Structure 1
Amino acid sequence: MTVTTAPSATTTPRTTSPWASRTTIPGTSTLSRPMAPRPRAAEDSRWTALVESVRDAGQYPTASEAERITRIVLSALGGQVIGEERVALARALPEEAARVIASQIPATRRLTAAEFVDSVATRIEGATPATARWDVSSVLSVLPPLLGEALTTRILGALPRGYALLFGRADLGARR
């Protein structure tokens, strides 16, 4: 982003985007028309709201700690959710969270809920199984309002039994 000054007595910052001059549509030639500004602020605020929800749920002292935990847990989740549920999950979340989910290679073997928590514990320095469970629940329990009831149910149906508690739901399903 470049800041320029207007040629007036008062200095007024004006921003120009490097993407504003051309638009490329896959499979077509470059069009010479201005792009509509991306609603970055809205996406950034959705990510910030997610991190703040995690901070509140986990009682983390800082937003940066909540963001770190959010990224770790979403990264682990990104390997466990596959197929259509993974695509729907990414679409329902803020763009930054979707990137974290989509950047993971889907696991070849689904982890049980306990194994999932243990895998997160290995990613957090000094974590114990108890603190990792707290961290996982702090992140996953704030997702259902973003995902909606139907998608949350689909995701839980695709995961091994036991994840419902991590998402803040009672696990009332029949044993598999």
Structure 2
Amino acid sequence: MRRRGFLLLPTLLAGGAQAATVQGDAAAALMARLRRGGVVVVLRHAITDRSQADRGYLSDRAGQRNLSAAGRAQARALGQAFARLPLGQVLTSPVFRARDTAELAFGARAVVEPRLTADDYTPDAALLEANIAWLRDRIRSPSAPDAVDVLVGHIVPLGMALGRGLGQADYPEGASAIFAPGGRLLGVLAAGTLGAA
């Protein structure tokens, strides 16, 4: 699996939180902020079967890393947690692990957005740069003042939009990175934290 170098983009973290999952009082405060709406959430796809590898073809489910049974359960639990929030738009990457997460969590509400495609499925450098620019702009603006927009995607494109690499500890599968208007990262909630709140 080939990884591209990170694009040199302005960071969205200036004056905001660092990317790492929050717990305790910080998680409770972030959940309270989510309930008020007016944010964009970049939800990383749910838990995958790590014995599978990506071959880089969007139409080839067998050639992709897909959700595990635990990931399908996690996606359903995430859907129950998000159902308690004022949901706005729900957009998903066309890569099967993201699409399946979105469909299990949000049903027909999820709309495929090709610009959320994982970097390994975007071989054209100019197109990848355009997709990352779109993501960077999209996380700055919720669709309505009280909406929680959800973008279901992948770790590397979000790291590229942030201008730095993200690791599993920063942004595990099923985690939600929450952005205030203007693109300030408020924090990252692990899937279990979101579901428990």
Q: TM-score, normalised by structure 2?
A: 0.24
Return the structure number with greater helix share.
1
Higher relative contact order (CA 8 A, sep 6+): 2
Greater C-alpha radius of gyration: 1
Larger proportion of strand: 2
